[in-house]
Amino acid sequence: MRFLITATEQLGPTLKGLRRAAGLTQTQVALAGGLQQKTVSMLENDPQRCTVESLIRYLVAVGTPLNLEQGVAQPQAGARAAW
């Protein structure tokens, strides 16, 4: 399944959904990804405060690769124009 994320507000709920779909707890993701449980919680609730490394570790732990595609979508209304 593909998830199109064009705003930071979409990232946390998407991550939580991926974790739940994998049948994992936050603690299990933390152990599998070499993260602290509080980092997993922060990724799901306040992802803009986390590092890219933490995001990638989280994604590996839930079995979801990071795939970037250029020019596939326009930012949604209200999304930050420049990060």
pLDDT at 14 over 80: yes
- Of the two residues 66 and 81, the one the predictor is more confident about is 66
Tell me what pLDDT residue 82 has: 44
- Asked if residue 82 belongs to a domain, the reply is no
Tally of domains within the chain: 1
Taking phi first (over 0 means left), then psi (-120 to 50 degrees means alpha), and beta for anything else, what does residue 34 get? Answer: left
CATH of the domain at 55: 1.10.260.40
| Measured distance CA(70)–CA(49) in Å, rounded | 24
- Asked if residue 13 belongs to a domain, the reply is yes
Tell me what pLDDT residue 73 has: 59
For 23-77, the pLDDT digits (tens) are: 999 999 999 999 999 999 999 999 999 999 999 999 999 999 898 888 755 655 5
pLDDT at 81 over 50: no
Which structural domain range is residue 48 located in?
8-61
- Asked if residue 33 belongs to a domain, the reply is yes
- Asked if residue 70 belongs to a domain, the reply is no
Tell me what pLDDT residue 37 has: 98
| Measured distance CA(41)–CA(12) in Å, rounded | 9
